Amino acid sequence: MDSVIDPSLLGEPPLPAPQPRRPLRREGAVIILTPEEQLLQDAMLMSSSPPPEPLLGKRTRNEDGDDEGEHVPTSPAPQLETLSPSISNLTAATLRYANTKKLRPEQRDEAEAFLLESAAGHQARLYIAILSVENKIDTFRSAAPPYQVYEELKTNINNYGLAVLLSVNISAYKGNIPINHILDILKRFRFDLPAGIEHDYANWEKVTTAVSYSLTQIHSRLKKLIKESIGSNTNIFALAQLIVHSTPCRTTVQLCARVALMRAIHKECKGSEKYWNRIDERLATIRKLADGSTSKITKAFNRILQTDRELYGADEDYSISDVVADEWQQQVDAVVAGEGSS
């Protein structure tokens, strides 16, 4: 076994003896920290917020303890009273405003109490007020009489119904097409319709029924006038004036051409039950032959009008002025054409 050589014999300084490791000191389950360790732990537990800034106007003292310069005078912090109005001032202003709105005394008392509530109290009071308004609205609705179509609305439906049937843009005289055109006009101009009635299906059905009934009456009246005009040999201009009598419609060339088509079909089918269906079929044929050409459709109606003038009142001296439809009829034509519809 080799012997260990003493380093001092070789002229080297002796190695320091190894220090024993300090055992972990515990008292039960609690670790006993050294002062240095305790400082580290204290640092870990300190708040992360920055230390408070020195007061405005104070200069920090140098390490050597010398003060340089004088202290900067500081202004006092603004008081709370100067930043926001006091409760008494706010209450006075609120009550003055309540008086201008002519609130009742008990309402003014409620407004004053509202100012003293907390934020949660404000929300609770507002929510309760909303519920109270809803209850009053429900009571009003339940007490209101059932909706009915009044005479004023019926008059508007009759006038606009005729204007729709005489529109240069009408594509069918029967079915839902003319009904929907009139309903679109009612939605656009409202008249005396209650707000949102079109979403109340029960009451809106009453309006739809009134429109359908009006169109039925207009169909019957037109058919009767056209039948009588054939027997009396009435010229087309006089017939058109008779049709639009007491309405805002203006007797234009285009309107006369539409009436001439009605009279031509009446003569063909002798006023049968399929009279309006036959007119719709003829309109569809004209559109198909024109293939979307507006000028071709105009030429077709001009030919229908010329034929009518040759058959009825040919020896009478009259002229049809090439006037533009009035603004009222133009609005109807725009709705029928689908312009500006949502």
Per-residue tens of pLDDT for the chain, all 342 residues: 555 555 555 555 555 555 544 444 544 555 666 676 666 666 666 665 555 555 444 455 555 555 554 554 555 554 444 445 567 788 888 888 888 888 898 888 888 888 888 888 888 888 988 998 988 887 776 676 788 889 999 999 999 999 999 998 999 999 999 999 999 999 998 888 888 889 988 899 999 999 999 999 999 999 999 999 999 999 999 999 999 988 888 889 999 999 999 999 999 999 899 999 999 999 999 999 999 888 999 999 999 999 999 999 888 888 887 777 778 888 898 999 887 554
Please report whether residue 15 resides in a domain.
no
Same domain? For 155 and 271 the reply is yes
pLDDT at 258: 94
Asked if 299 and 201 sit in the same domain, the reply is: yes
pTM passes above 0.75: no
Alpha-carbon span 197 to 150, nearest angstrom? 14
Angle at 296 between CA 173 and CA 284, to 5 degrees: 30
Say yes or no: 105 and 160 in one domain. Answer: no
**Are residues 212 and 187 part of one domain?**
yes
Instruction: Indicate whether 130 and 172 sit together in one domain.
Output: no
Q: Quick check: is 25 in a domain?
A: no
What tokens appear for 133 in the block? 């308004």
In terms of Cα–Cα distance, which of 83, 120, 91, 89 is closest to 108? 91
Instruction: Print the domain residue range for 121.
Output: 86-143
Tell me: do 183 and 246 sit in the same domain: yes
Whether 162 and 280 share a structural domain = yes
Provide the H-helix boundaries in the chain.
35-45, 80-83, 87-100, 105-115, 119-143, 151-165, 176-189, 201-232, 236-243, 253-269, 275-290, 294-311, 327-336
Residues 134 and 160 in one domain: no
Answer yes or no: is 30 within a domain.
no
Virtual CA dihedral for 81, 87, 90, 91, nearest 10 degrees?
Answer: -160
Residue 308's pLDDT is: 94
Number of structural domains found in the chain: 2
∠ at Cα 199 (197, 200), nearest 5°? Answer: 65
Closest to 170 in 3D by CA, of 185, 154, 155: 185
